[in-house]
Structure 1
Amino acid sequence: MWALRRASIPLRSPGFSIGISRVSCAKLEILSPSIEEDKAGTLESPQEAFDRCLYLKRFYHTTCRSSNVFVVRQFSSQAGAKSSGEEDDLEDGFSELEMPSSAKANQDGNVEDESDDELISEPELSDDGVDIEERSQNELELLDSETDPSEKKVVKKWAQSALFKAILDAPGLSIHNALDKWVEEGNDLSRAEISLAVLNLRKRRMYGRALQLSEWLEVNKHLDFVERDYASRLDLIAKVHGLQKAESYIEKIPKSFRGEVIYRTLMANCAVANNIKKAEDIFNKMKDLGFPISSFACNQLLLLYKRIDKKKIADVLLLMEKENVKPTPFTYKLLIDTKGQSNDITGMDQIVQTMKAEGFEPDIHTQAILVKHYTSGGLKDKAEAILKEMEGDNLKDRRVCRVLLPLYAQLGKADDVSRVWKVCESSPRLEECMAAIDAWGKLKKIEEAEAVFDRMSKTWQKLTSKHYSVLLKVYANHKMLAKGKDLIKRMGDSGCRIGPLTWDALVKLYVEAGEVEKADSILQKAAQHNQLKPMFSSYMTIMEQYAKRGDVHNTEKAFHRMRQAGYVGRLRQFQALIQAYINAKAPAYGIKDRMKADNVFPNRALAAQLVHVDAFRKTAMSDLLD
């Protein structure tokens, strides 16, 4: 333990400390070892520090305290649910977190009206290598753990409520008149009916209307608010108006209801926004208020550090060991994926063994992560063995099909993709169709992908931009600009509303066709004339293209527009920006100060980049001239 602690303290990272001792006078801090500006090579690597924590002799054998987490479908970033394996379906639009078994997705394949609300944003399908399956996990754990026992039977069925239908049919932006009429007609306004309506609104990412419903209920005193109702409001405010408005709302919540659930909710939204500093501040605030350190909070930090700063993962693991916080299945899933991303297959396998020793069997999505990393690591035999295990003796479990399709495609197994699709073909579900289109696209079988899309469009009359975007991405990946334009026209003719997913596919389509300026123009217009925020990956696609050209001016403009859109400075953005200066053979004055202002500290790769853009760097020739 002492060796581990020493490994965690090479350098302090300004502005970040998490106290973890509540019983002793001494305050141990989680330190974020960052790299000194010109001494990047002297520190223990993040991988080594990570390994030290993973191979502790006692890997968290104690149990953690149970706590009621606020349940709401579409909560931003939750982690820590225990999955029984009863149901592992994904729902697009969830954030990167843990999915509990009890939340049952729509299994009949019937598409319902999923038209986007005026104030919602489509989910990101990819962000810095983040898998959409990881995003999905957290949302439903909130649903499972917070819903009143009396409501759970209804919630699990995801039945539509009459109140939800009335809200859906309300014309215009405001739903207040429809709600007033609902009450005047003497309709049911019980807590169960309200909860079901909110859950259906969240399922369709109609956060604006869900927020209006919450506000109307409180103003008209139709519901006695408890902590989970305030937490629901807080979450909706964060989704619709951003973190700053959500944080301000906490002060309006009565102190008696300002418990752990409230701060967890805000921390969850910080994780979705990739705002490390705010998440760490809330973590410390929860500790200062005397709330127990939970697996939920630790998983939020692990999730953020996995994406942005892997050096700090070891600190969180040490914290969990010291505080006797037992890891959840999602904790293991994060660590498995982190090891896989680092190409440490041996370490990944050891975590799986530890997970099983602790009584957790990898669920279907954890197995999918393993297959992905085995495939990228060239271990196709191991990948195929897991796929066969996932598939079982037959494919009666249709939940597995949409996971298997893209994984077999990644392995280049066209025959297996065809075999699995035949199981679904007679009565396909929407998610299976989308997975098949993606799979055929990966196999460069464009006609097959188009055939599935045509089948999907004939089966369901009203498709959303999410469904069109899958085929649009196939066209983009294969530089089929003409077909992409035709599909966009088809979307417009169908009355489909275009949102961030479509913009992202369009950006990639034009970039792959070599028309970067056109892609940039599309993104700028989308950002200026719509209430929805473009995806992080859309900006990065354009920014990285300008950086390749050494176009510092346009790279800086793209960087600035990302900040205006609310994407705070991150490592990947600075890597692209610095690369632009490197390719332009120009010094980047003040770049280190800019990074410090955003609390971004270089890893080894970025530190190596910084050397090339340091205007005051000493070289052998400059010493001679001096």
Structure 2
Amino acid sequence: MLLNTSIQTSSPLQHLPLSSLFFHSPTTIGFRHPIGIRAGIGRTNSIKCSISQVHSYGTLDYERRPPLKWSSLYRRISFMDNPELGSSSVLNQWEEEGRKLTKWELCRVVKELRKYRRYKLALEVYEWMSDQGDRFRLSSSDSAIQLDLISKVHGISTAEDYFSGLPKALKDKRAYGALLNAYAQAQMREKAEYMMEEMKSRGYTVHSLPFNVMMTLYMNLREFEKVNSIIAEMVEKNVALDLYSYNILLSCCGAMGSMEEMEEVFTRMTLDGTVNPNWTTYSTMATMYMKMGQFEKAEDCLKKLESRITGRDRIPFHYLLSLYSSIGKKEEIYRVWDIYKSSFPSIQNLGYHAMIASLIRLDDIQGAETIYEEWLLVKTSCDPRIFNLLMGWYIKEGLVDKAESFLNQVIEVGKPNSSTWEILAEGHISQNRISEALSCMKEATSAEGAKNWRPKPTNVSAFFSLCEGKGDMTSREGLMDVLRQVGWLEDEAYMSEVNSSDREGVALKLSVENSRIDANDADLLLNRLQ
């Protein structure tokens, strides 16, 4: 187990404004090692930085060959009828059919699986390669990718064990960078800081990537002043800022509400000469302008974002749809959707999800239902998240019976997941239907995704309060059994959230019904929740 040590660094420059750290002279700020950091878009336009996959560290050093049949193999793994059999079953069958697999093909499949967050299947491909003895030469690049996948599938502790067991020859800057990245994504600040110091002592921090990882961590922890400190260190050590360093700085300035500094950073970026703003730059700036209420400037950034879309990248369209919905531009959403559909022979589930989510955000339920019907006709696989978007809107609007009818239709064309059932349960709770809500929660325990299902503490709390108000302790115990079955009843942190939600609900009720509850009754009610 690695040391859990917090390393504190300081610099005489760290307390200066972000822009002043590098505006005082045209230092050698250039582009190196892209890692893809973006500002995530949600209903509340919250800031969320993310670090790209580890292979952007320069870890794809496997043999370059002309495109082969990797896409067919990828589809067979991705859409297998029984994912529990794992990737190895597909790979074994593939070779039994007389087709010998190469490392290039396998690594290309892994890359695609990681792209769509099919981490377990991707890890199983590497495990299959490892089981083949000396047939495939696995490099330090492969070890770094495996470490990244292990952290996502099995958790940090298992990733640490894997790292500790690596041969010295494979434990290079890639492996260290992968573990640093894993710590950052898990928001384990002290371990990330310790690993960063280890990398410095080994000479692994001569480029921007590890600094970008740490800045991303601090952004996600909303410790914006730490970003200032890292920029100061990069300037002092003459480590060139790359495109994504600038994008993080833009996010940081915007998060602190400093439009002037954000624009100064952007100006310096455009004057750099080796760094060109890309679509993620304009996506970040549009998000920050929206947070500041500068909607005209935000829309101008979206136009520039659209002009930067190149190649076969679908993701920028998803951001455009979401961002236009955030500023209420429904006509622009439909315009971008038309361009999106004309740019690709088919639209994948993520595209339909982005479009339907954008329309629902604007309460254009008729438009969302139309796009949903279109998706049903062209889908290659069912994505419960798309069902859930419509289910969620129906419940929010109090249309519980319509949501129930919709779920029956869903069952005919696909498989609802645990969240689908919980959404319906939430509707039943809102209408005081205890037995129906409990039935839905029980269905969730055996639905798709049940292993990773985390019932919302607010729903659990509301159900408990409803049961107690009705004196239905049998149903309350029934939900306790559900929580026990999915492993959350013994989770102290989770149950603390449930109890906290319960206390908040009681406090609100007390404030509303103050004239009908005397002090002694209130104390007894609150003490029950301690």
TM-score range, shorter chain: 0.7 to 0.9
1:202 to 114, 120, 135: 114
1:333 to 247, 250, 253: 247
**Are 2:206 and 1:253 equivalent residues in the alignment?**
no
Deviations along 1:245-277, one digit per CA (max 9) or x if unpaired, are: 110111221111111111211222222222222
**1:379 partner letter:** Q
1:300 to 202, 213, 217: 213
2:179 to 240, 257, 266: 266
Equivalence map 1:220-369=2 (5 Å): 220-221=132-133, 222-310=135-223, 311-359=225-273, 360-369=275-284
1:55 aligns to what? 20
- Give the C-alpha shift of residue 450 in structure 1: 0.9
Alignment CA distance shift 1:335-1:543 (3 Å): farther
Equivalence map 1:224-623=2 (5 Å): 224-310=137-223, 311-359=225-273, 360-391=275-306, 399=314, 401-424=317-340, 429-430=347-348, 431-475=350-394, 478-496=397-415, 498=417, 532-534=451-453, 539=456, 564=491
Alignment CA distance shift 1:286-1:128 (3 Å): farther
Distance in structure 2 (CA, Å) of the matches to 1:269 and 1:517: 42
Q: Secondary structure at the match of 2:239?
A: coil
Distance in structure 1 (CA, Å) of the matches to 2:145 and 2:264: 39
- Give the C-alpha shift of residue 218 in structure 1: 1.9
**2:157 partner letter:** Q
Distance in structure 2 (CA, Å) of the matches to 1:465 and 1:471: 10
2:525 aligns to what? none
Distance in structure 2 (CA, Å) of the matches to 1:16 and 1:523: 42
Deviations along 1:533-570, one digit per CA (max 9) or x if unpaired, are: 347xx757669999xxxxxxx9xx99x95994999x9x
Q: Is the 8 A contact 1:176 1:212 kept in 2?
A: yes
**Are 2:184 and 1:218 equivalent residues in the alignment?**
no
Distance in structure 2 (CA, Å) of the matches to 1:325 and 1:520: 57
Q: Is the 8 A contact 2:325 2:361 kept in 1?
A: yes
Distance in structure 1 (CA, Å) of the matches to 2:507 and 2:14: 33
- Give the C-alpha shift of residue 187 in structure 1: 2.3
Alignment CA distance shift 1:562-1:475 (3 Å): farther
Taking only the aligned residue pairs, the percentage that are identical comes to: 21
Alignment CA distance shift 1:403-1:163 (3 Å): closer
Distance in structure 2 (CA, Å) of the matches to 1:406 and 1:374: 15
Distance in structure 2 (CA, Å) of the matches to 1:468 and 1:452: 12
Distance in structure 1 (CA, Å) of the matches to 2:309 and 2:98: 51
Q: Is the 8 A contact 1:151 1:192 kept in 2?
A: yes
Distance in structure 1 (CA, Å) of the matches to 2:85 and 2:251: 41
Q: Secondary structure at the match of 2:27?
A: coil
RMSD (CA atoms)? 4.9
**1:219 partner letter:** D
2:514 aligns to what? none
**1:418 partner letter:** Y
- Give the C-alpha shift of residue 477 in structure 1: 5.3
Q: Secondary structure at the match of 2:18?
A: helix
Q: Is the 8 A contact 2:177 2:210 kept in 1?
A: yes
After alignment, is 176-185 or 263-272 more displaced?
176-185
Deviations along 1:124-145, one digit per CA (max 9) or x if unpaired, are: 986996567x43x612x72583
- Give the C-alpha shift of residue 227 in structure 1: 0.9
**2:71 partner letter:** Q
- Give the C-alpha shift of residue 328 in structure 1: 2.0
For structure 2, the residue ranges without an aligned partner over 5 or more in a row are 464-475, 509-530
Q: Is the 8 A contact 2:59 2:142 kept in 1?
A: no
- Give the C-alpha shift of residue 478 in structure 1: 4.5
- Give the C-alpha shift of residue 408 in structure 1: 2.6
For structure 1, the residue ranges without an aligned partner over 5 or more in a row are 1-13, 19-28, 32-47, 67-79, 84-96, 100-123, 547-553, 585-626
Deviations along 1:71-110, one digit per CA (max 9) or x if unpaired, are: xxxxxxxxx5078xxxxxxxxxxxxx469xxxxxxxxxxx
Alignment CA distance shift 1:331-1:50 (3 Å): farther
Which one scores higher on RCO, CA 8 angstroms, separation ≥ 6? 1
Deviations along 1:341-397, one digit per CA (max 9) or x if unpaired, are: 333222222221122122333322321222233233222221232233344599999
Distance in structure 1 (CA, Å) of the matches to 2:395 and 2:269: 39
**TM-score when normalising by structure 1:** 0.62
Q: Secondary structure at the match of 2:64?
A: helix
**TM-score when normalising by structure 2:** 0.72
Alignment CA distance shift 1:440-1:515 (3 Å): farther
Q: Is the 8 A contact 1:295 1:326 kept in 2?
A: yes
Distance in structure 1 (CA, Å) of the matches to 2:61 and 2:198: 28
Q: Is the 8 A contact 1:409 1:443 kept in 2?
A: yes
- Give the C-alpha shift of residue 454 in structure 1: 1.0
Q: Is the 8 A contact 2:147 2:175 kept in 1?
A: yes
Distance in structure 1 (CA, Å) of the matches to 2:370 and 2:179: 44
- Give the C-alpha shift of residue 475 in structure 1: 3.9
Q: Secondary structure at the match of 1:324?
A: coil
Q: Is the 8 A contact 1:395 1:401 kept in 2?
A: no
Distance in structure 2 (CA, Å) of the matches to 1:228 and 1:497: 38
Q: Is the 8 A contact 1:503 1:534 kept in 2?
A: no
Deviations along 1:449-501, one digit per CA (max 9) or x if unpaired, are: 1111111111225321233234344445545444444444433333325266x
Q: Secondary structure at the match of 2:85?
A: coil
Distance in structure 1 (CA, Å) of the matches to 2:188 and 2:395: 30
Aligned length: 479
Q: Is the 8 A contact 2:208 2:242 kept in 1?
A: yes
Q: Is the 8 A contact 1:64 1:324 kept in 2?
A: no
Distance in structure 2 (CA, Å) of the matches to 1:167 and 1:542: 33
Distance in structure 1 (CA, Å) of the matches to 2:157 and 2:80: 31
Q: Is the 8 A contact 2:279 2:304 kept in 1?
A: no
**2:251 partner letter:** D
1:16 aligns to what? 6
Q: Is the 8 A contact 1:367 1:386 kept in 2?
A: yes
Q: Secondary structure at the match of 1:253?
A: coil
Q: Is the 8 A contact 2:29 2:272 kept in 1?
A: no
**2:321 partner letter:** L
Q: Is the 8 A contact 1:60 1:327 kept in 2?
A: no
- Give the C-alpha shift of residue 183 in structure 1: 4.2
Point out the structure with the larger helix share: 2
- Give the C-alpha shift of residue 62 in structure 1: 3.2
- Give the C-alpha shift of residue 411 in structure 1: 2.1
Alignment CA distance shift 1:424-1:210 (3 Å): closer
Q: Is the 8 A contact 1:343 1:377 kept in 2?
A: yes
